[in-house]
Every structure is written in structure tokens, then in C-alpha cells.
Amino acid sequence: MPIRVLLVVAVLAVTACETRDPTQPLTPEPPRPTPKRIDTTFLAQYAATNKFTLGRPTSFKVSRDGALVYFLRSTARSFSRDLYVYDVVAKTERVIATAAQLLSGGTENLSAEEKARRERMRSTARGIATFELAKDGKRLLIPLSGKLYVVDATSGQAKELIDAGGYANDPSLSPLGDKVACVRNGDLYVIDIATNQQTRLTTTASETISNGLPEFVAQEEMDRFRGYWWSPDGKSMVYQETDTRGMDRSYIADPSKPDHPPQSWPYPRPGRANASVRAGIVDIRGGATRWINWDSGVFPYLVSVTWDDGAPLLIAVQNRAQTDLKLYEVEQGRGATRELLTENDDAWVNIAQSVPRFYDKGRKLLWISEESGAPVLEARETSGAMLKELTKAALGLHELVSVDEAAGHVYVLASDDATDKRLFRVPLDGGDATAVAATRGKESAAFTEGAPVFVHSQTLEDGSARDVVRKLDGSEVGVIASVAEQPPLMPKLELTRVAEHDLNAVIVRPRDFAAGTKYPVIVHVYAGPHNRIVDRVPRSYFLDQWIADNGFVVVAIDNRGTPGRGRVFERVIKKDLITVALADQVAGLQALVKKYPELDGSRVGIYGWSFGGYASAHAVMQRPDIYKAGVAGAPVTEWRDYDTHYTERYMGLPDENPEGYAATSVLTYADKLERPLLVVHGTADDNVYFAHSLKLANLLFRAGKPFELLPLLNFTHMVPEPEVTTRLYEKVVDFFQRSL
């Protein structure tokens, strides 16, 4: 350093000393917590119990008379479920069937289609992962390892059905409970239970065609997991034919086994070919298919099929831009269609799979519309004509759950403050919605049409979780037992609203929090559409509490673009998935730092998975002045490489929005990276392919930017294995301790 610079520095230092009032004491810097040794005891328990959910009952089916409730449950540290029945009157339970009994000790195997289906459903269940109860309550259908078992609902005696023709995918009982349908090797079959005779209903015309299975985007983005539907009388079916000819193909190899050929999947990339879908009606005795006629060139997406007893067959379809959704009535004999109603939105139309629903002996239907600015439940004529709105926009409607015509009301799930999801009762003739329970939290419910009881599942703001059997008036008649491990701690939350747009935010402090101490901040982010991360349920924040206990304060913010706050709040992100989201995240964080002095705004890290990983990567690249380190888990780095139905809904077609695609790509900013970045990705991810992170790593390397890449060998978009979950988040905390 030149002497003149040293002199200037010395003069400035002396001047500073001379100008300070010596009578005033120095203001000490707030103490900073000492980085802790990472203790993974709690994390290991959290991972081994799958977030303390293993052992909790699930998949409830109520008998028509309300006397019995069937459900699945595993032990506290197993993903393998068995089938139980709860006696509502006696308040006792017993085992009906176990995977070990049905397979006689054999090994469970899953087909590629079943693995993909469970991945789309984010299901980690093994053993008896699903089952069906016949409408008359006399028998149960249990699919297991590609085999089909029909089980007497009272005695538990099991009968294995014929397995000729290959693995039985997505089986279902007929409305009368006397037959079972399934898909084998891309074709639809029906099996008569009494005779164990199987009838093949379709014949695939080529290797690119399958029948009876939903295409990738239907499962991943539309929440439609079925590709065939029984007629109410059980004599015919509607099924989907899917042709993937012309689609791009993606390949997933096992890097640890270079001698094994990769798996290949058709994958619909933005602006490229989608699967070609049509639907037809076929008699279960076989014969020619009567194809349903609609303009699939304009409306290529088959959204839903509804065929209720005493009501016409309906299909809902959507245009590729997802700005129009049409509901058609189908004339079964000729396959002709008649338009009942249209939903239109200049940005996009959200799909509501819980509607349409018929009532009043098929003379009226229920529909969910956002034309008023938020989702509302509507009563309509079967012609599509409006009768009345049954809910108000402020209720924050999620879905229709059940219709109780005898009592004159419906049940819905809704969020009246966007931090919970509760069960409400709504009068069919109009009136205010009433919460079934006074408590707040996250709820769901299982009803059977005509049954006098239902199961009300609650995860509440006091940290409790239970599954209650209730009468239709809401009174409690029993509780189905959980054998899940009780967590040794319960996260402590503080909810608040911040910044210009009144954003919901949550704060999780360390349990040994010391007032007056400045803590580094970790932002847990998702930031993407159709998902919220801020809620009032402590059980949502076990991982965040563990991270906080390692010397941080963890915060989360729901920016504009997330659901539950009305149309304008949600759709402001059209054609640009990051600019508004990141601006809101920054504004929310700065407001929190200003409001809470314990938050050290000079030491902020950010982490997230999937869209949250995408947001984390953008944050450290675009705003290094705010975010000093980031962890990007399974990030979408280039929207041209993600699927059509999701990407085009928000971004439009690539050729119509090239500037938007470039501006929202993480790859665009790779050469701007100044802060530590850890990228984590499963090598077998068939949702956000590993190529996203490899492309980012390549550009960062070429730009001379230091970063860390952690590939998770043969993991998909989910990471359920306890050991890997433990080591992953141990590494995340170590990364933030080193970086902040």
C-alpha cells in the first residue's frame, strides 16, 4: 500500500476518534451465535419416520351403513402398509389383510408404469398401497405386486384373480362390485370375479399407443390418475387412447451400471409434440369402440370424465394455451358432444378435479369457477345455465368434497385466511359456510354417499394430529388410532404479514433462542404457483426447526403467484415465473429484517426443492447483495426442458415468448454467480431431469465459478430413504455454517 494512502487512513482514524463524543459509550455489536456441532439425532428420527407420518392411518373408506371404516396403516418406521377395519360402534379395530399374507412371504414387485404412477402421486407407500371397497360393502379389491386380490370385507378371506396378460395396472371394481377392470401391457381388460374369466377390450395398434392409462401431463399436472371410467350400470366403459408418436424421448441411465441400457420415456417439452389423446366408449363384452367427437386439434387436453348414476356422460377438455376449458355432454350412442359451459381466462384456467358433480337426481350439477376473481362453488342446470353461487370468494375454496342432499348441504375444503385448509359445510339453497370444527390447521375428509358418518383428518395448529369419525352433524363418535412415533419436539412458529403486498410469512427460531443475539437467516423457499409454504401447522416445520436449532432463524414467505389470495395475486406471474416472485421474496425478507432485530440481514442463505431450488439459484445469482449462499434442490434451470402443461400454462409457447424464456432461465445468469451455491439432484428424476443441474454445472464450470454439486444416485424427485435424507440435510446445514 503506498505511504500516502496509509497517511490518509491514519488521519481518518484520528479524525474519527476526535469527533466521537467521549462521554458516550461505544455501542457494542450484538453477539453472534457460535456455530454448533451438527447433531443429527432428531434429523435421523425425522427421516426414519418420514416426517413422523409413518404409522398414521390413511386411505379411509366408510361402509354405506356407517358401521365400519376401512383404512391402511404401516408401523412407525415402515413404508409397507396393511389393511385394517375400525368398528364404529364397538370402537375396536382388526387387521383384514397384510402384504405378507397375500404374497405368502414373496417379494413385492412394481411395474415401470406403477412406479411412474406413484412418482406422479408423490406416493412412497409399499405393501398394500391402495384398495377399493365395493359399493355394497361386501368385498374389497387389493392390488399388490401386479396381482389382484378380492377380499371378503367381513371374513378377510382372499381370492386371487387371473393374472394372464401381464402386470395389472390401476385396477378398479365395477359399480356392482362383480367385475374388475385393469390395464395390462397397454390394453384394457375386464375380469368377472365369479368365473375368473378375463375379457380383453382393446388392442394396441402400435408400440406408441396405450389404452386406459393417463398420459404424463394428466398425472403430473392435471391431478388425473385414471385413464378409464365405468358406466353407472357397469355395462360399458369410457377409456383413453394415448399415442406418443412424434414426442421427444428422454432417457435415464444408472450411472453406477454403465453396462445397463437406459430407460426411455416420451417427454412433452414446451413447444414440441404432446401425446395425442382421444376417448371412446366400449362394451365390457367387447366389440368396436365408439369414439367421442370433439375438436381435439383445438382442445388437445382431456381434463376429466364424469359418468354419474342417473346423469349424462360429461367430458372436460382444455386448449393447449389453457385459456379455455369446455364441459361437454356426450351422446353415448354416436359419441357426439354438446357444449354445456366454457371457462375462459386470459392468463390460464385452473383445473378443479372435484367437479362437475351431479345432484337432484341428475337434474343439477355443481361447478367451480374463478370468473368472479376467486374460486367459488356454483349450482347450475344440466344445460350449464347458472342457478346460484353457493360460496363466496373470501372463503378461499379448494375443492368440493361431498354432497349430502338429504341434509341439504355440501362439504368443501377451503382456506379462509390462506394459512390453513379446513372442512366447511355449505347450504345447497344458499347461506354462509360453517366450519365443521372450531380448530384451525390442515384438514381432509373421507365420505361415502349415503353413509351417516365420515372420517375427518386433522393436523392442527396446536401440533396434534388425529383422524376422527364424525356423524354428519359434526359430532365425534370415535378416533382411529395412530401408531406413529411422537416427535420429541414441536416447532415454534410466528406467523406475520409483511411488505407492500401483505405477504404471508412464518418465522422459526432456535429453541435456545437468546434475545439480543443476531442470527444468520435461512429462507426456506418454494415461490412457485399452485403451492404455499406458509401455514399455521407446526408439523410442517420439523426440518426448519432442526435447521434453526443449529444456529439460525428460518423464515418462509409466500410471494405473489402462489394460490389462495385471489386471481390477480396468483396470475401476476404470467409469462415470467421469476421476476415478481424474487422481488416479493426480497421485499418480504427486508421487511422481516426491519421488524425483527434478531435477523442478521447481512448473512442470509436460501434453500428449496423443485421450484424452490429454481428460486434459490436465481436468488444467489440475481441478488447476491441479499442472499449470501444458496442450496438448489432438483432445480428447473431451463423451462424449455420442462413439461408442456406446466410450463406453457405460465410461460406460453417458447416461440411466442422467447424473451420470457431467456429471462427466467437460471442458465442465463450462470456467469453472474458470486455466492456459494450447492446444487442437489437425483440422477433418476423423471420429473425435473438431472440434465437441468448438469447444464447449470457445465456453465458454472466454464465461467470459472466455484460451486458444489451433489448427485443423489438413482433417486427420483422424491428422497424418501432415511439415511440419504439425514446425510443430505446434514450437508445442507454444514454448507450454510461454512458459508454464513
Indicate which residues carry an active-site annotation. 610, 685, 717
Backbone angles phi, psi at 497, to 5 degrees: -125, 140
DSSP per-residue letters across 77-146: T-SEEEEEEEETTTTEEEEEE-HHHHTTTPPP---HHHHHHHHHTT---EES---EE-TTSSEEEEEETT
- Find all residues with CB under 8 Å of 417, minimum gap 6, and list them: 396
Give the CA-trace dihedral at 687, 690, 692, 693, to 10 degrees: 140
E strand or H helix that includes residue 697: helix 691-702
Q: Is 10 helix (H, G, I), strand (E, B) or coil?
A: helix
Name the CA radius of gyration of the chain, rounded: 28
Q: Is 409 helix (H, G, I), strand (E, B) or coil?
A: strand
Torsion 162-164-168-171 (CA) sign = negative
E strand or H helix that includes residue 674: none
- Distance (Å, rounded) from C-alpha 163 to C-alpha 209? 22
- Distance (Å, rounded) from C-alpha 371 to C-alpha 342? 11
Q: Which three cell numbers stand for residue 81?
A: 402398509
E-state strands within 7-67: 58-62
Please give the single-letter amino acid code of residue 536: R
- Nearest CA to 633 out of 713, 728, 559, 503 is that of 728
Buried b (16+ CB within 10 A) or exposed e, 445-469: bbbbeebbbbbbbbbbbebebbbbb
E strand or H helix that includes residue 460: strand 453-460
Q: Is 419 helix (H, G, I), strand (E, B) or coil?
A: coil
- Distance (Å, rounded) from C-alpha 249 to C-alpha 461? 45
Q: Is 590 helix (H, G, I), strand (E, B) or coil?
A: helix
Q: Which three cell numbers stand for residue 738?
A: 461454512
Burial of 14 (0-12, 13-18, 19+ CB in 10 A): exposed
Q: Which three cell numbers stand for residue 585?
A: 421474496
- Distance (Å, rounded) from C-alpha 693 to C-alpha 636? 8
- Distance (Å, rounded) from C-alpha 482 to C-alpha 36? 35
Burial of 180 (0-12, 13-18, 19+ CB in 10 A): buried
Long-range contacts of 68-75 (CB under 8 A, 24+ apart): 68/137, 68/153, 69/453, 69/455, 69/469, 69/480, 70/96, 70/131, 70/133, 70/140, 70/153, 71/455, 71/467, 71/480, 72/125, 72/128, 72/129, 72/130, 72/131, 73/482, 73/483, 74/125, 74/127, 75/483
E strand or H helix that includes residue 539: none
Torsion 233-183-220-293 (CA) sign = negative
Q: Is 662 helix (H, G, I), strand (E, B) or coil?
A: helix
For 583, half-sphere exposure in the C-beta direction (CA atoms, 13 angstrom radius) is 11
The 3-state secondary structure of 278-347 reads EEEEEECCCCCCEECCCCCCCCCEEEEEEECCCCCEEEEEECCCCCEEEEEEECCCCCCEEEEEEEECCC
